[in-house]
Amino acid sequence: MTPEQLAAAIRAALTELVVAGELVVEVPDDLRVERPRQAGHGDWSSNVAMQLAKKAGMPPREVAAKLAAKLQAVDGIAAVEVAGPGFLNLTLDAASAGELARTIVGAGTAYGRGTSEGGRMVNLEYISANPTGPLHIGHTRWAALGDAMVRLLRAAGAQVAAEYYINDAGGQVVKLGGSVLAKLRGEPAPEGGYDGEYVEALAEAVRAAHPDILDLPADEALNAAWDVAYPIQLAQIQATLERFHVDFDVWFSERALHNAGAVEQAVARLREQGHVFDSEGAIWLRTTAFGDDKDRVLIRANGVPTYFAADAAYYLSKKDRGFDQKIYLLGADHHGYINRLKAIAACAGDDPEHNIEVKIGQLVSIAGERMGKRRGNALYMDELIEWIGSDALRYSLARYPADSPLSLDGEEMRRQTNDNPVFYVQYAHARTSNVARLAAEDGVRTEDGFDPSLLSDPTEAALLAILGDYPRVVAQAASLLEPHRVARYLENLAAHFHKWYDTCRVRPMNADEPVTDLHRTRLWLNDATRVVLANGLELLGVSAPERM
């Protein structure tokens, strides 16, 4: 019996009570069961009696007692206990609990996927680093978290577009072009410019494309340098993300936004909404009406749009493309963007509490190894991947909440010991694969038998219970945009699997011991664990190795 089937049984019991007139309540559609927090409190627990007690006009324990009487008669439920203020603690019989193993194996990659976020049209924008240099350690964290959020939302039924906003207009154009020209002239980088080996490589590419670039007028030289350097640097960013197994559906150019007149159109649309005003020769958006600390300039007195105007046009572009919800994952230095982005949403006629969500990721540092090769104190994503590996990086960065500052040890992430969480989880998956290989050599095959009532060892009950909790974990992680919940779940699952492995044998002890349904049924449980470990790792963008 799966948690969904158990929830359906509770709904059926409630319906019977309502039809019989014993309860006067509306039966909830989204009723769920959860794992009890303490061992010994059954396999599953529900607080539905406490949720409905007030509407039913009776104490929660009385509602729970009526439900318990109905549920006692349901096939597969061994015991129902009313606990505390009105919790229903339910224990399944071994056969009913064990049936879950076959359900999981049959579902395969679909197990854990659901529809809890169905109907959502989401645009999730993350990283969006200026194409003026390699991606660094901060971008690495946003890449791991953002991609995992996309995977989670899709697993929960949402339609999601992963988007990268290319800041290819404005001051960064001047800074990168000027830095390249300075390198060609043998001069220091301009104030606020860029330095390092990658700028030297860009300068050589510019020289090859335009041998006479230093003879051109200043503006022409600057544009020529950018036109060559920008696509090279953008391609390098894209190649790095591909190595990190991060894919974007949309690469959105800020320059294209300006060239299409979208900024001017956005100002006109916001003016129609009644939130734009003119003052001191400039055009302003009245964001203070929606919680911002000050009104924002859209068009300066000299006629030049601000970055904020581009932000407003970009938000309207997302809205026009049909995205009901826009999620921004921004760096730690972008706290001030929260209110102004929400104000844009409100000025555009959207609900800032529904149509936009801004997640702020905190800083991360990694110790234990050399710093960046290309610049004194920078640590770049390419170097991190080469040093630590994509799997260890992605898992380690995803297992902590985005809003927590993070300091990791690179050498610890590389270590292949049970103290390293990513190794511990991946090793559990490799062990399930090894069990299956060795079982096949001994003639243990799942297709030859399955008797879930044989899964009666306490470690088997515990393992089945945590396997059944996986869909809830995925749904909750997707709803809260918290990939770390999946990582911590996988570590718990790996611990239960290793304990079961140490206690229960899938293979016969020796050649004289016959293969029985117990061996075959335990192989089903082993394979179910492999499915869930692989599915969870995939949500984090981490591989599930079959050998380690």
pLDDT (tens digit, 9 = 90+) per residue, 224-257?
A: 999 999 999 999 999 999 999 999 999 999 999 9
The pLDDT value given to residue 2: 82
Is 540 within 8 Å of 421 (Cβ atoms)?
A: no
Q: What is the pLDDT of residue 371?
A: 41
pLDDT in tens, 287-306: 999 988 899 999 999 999 99
The length of the chain is 548
- Report pLDDT for 370: 41
Mean pLDDT confidence for 62-91: 92
Q: How far is Cα 503 from Cα 480, in angstroms, rounded to an integer?
A: 36
Sheet arrangement for strand 282-285:
276-279, 282-285, 296-299
pLDDT at position 313: 97
The CATH code of the domain that includes 151 is 3.40.50.620
Final residue belonging to a domain, choices 92, 112, 145 = 92
Are both 393 and 451 inside the same structural domain? Answer: no
Which CATH number is 44's domain given?
3.30.1360.70
pLDDT of res. 372: 41
Q: 345 and 312 in contact (C-beta within 8 Å)?
A: no
Distance of alpha carbon 93 from alpha carbon 418, whole angstroms: 33
In this structure, the answer to whether residues 19 and 131 fall within a common structural domain is: no
What is the residue range of 150's domain?
Answer: 127-259+362-414
pLDDT, mean over the chain: 92
Q: Identify the pLDDT of residue 377.
A: 55
> Are 393 and 422 in the same domain?
no
Of 470 and 32, which is predicted with more confidence?
A: 470
CB contact at 8 A, 220 and 236: no
Q: Are 391 and 451 part of one and the same domain?
A: no
Three-state DSSP at 158 gives: coil
Q: What is the pLDDT of residues 268-282, one digit of tens each?
A: 999 999 999 999 999
More confident residue, 171 or 384: 384
Whether residue 217 is contained in a domain is answered as yes
* pLDDT tens for each residue of 316-370: 999 999 999 999 999 887 888 899 999 999 999 999 999 999 999 888 887 754 4
Tally of CA atoms within 13 A in the half-sphere of 490 that contains its CB: 35
Task: Give φ, ψ of 46 to 5 degrees.
Answer: -140, 140
Residues forming beta bridges with residue 164, ordered by sequence position? 251
Q: What percent of the chain has pLDDT over 70?
A: 98
Q: What is the C-alpha to C-alpha distance for residues 298 and 12, in angstroms, rounded to an integer?
A: 57
User: For position 523, which CATH number holds?
Assistant: 1.10.730.10
Q: Are residues 403 and 439 in the same domain?
A: no
Give the chain's domain count. 3
Domain match, 440 and 408 both: no
CA 272 – CA 257 distance, rounded (Å): 20
Expressed in percent and rounded to 5, the helix, strand and coil fractions of the chain are 55, 15, 35
Q: Are residues 423 and 409 in the same domain?
A: no
Residues 86 and 167 grouped into a single domain: no
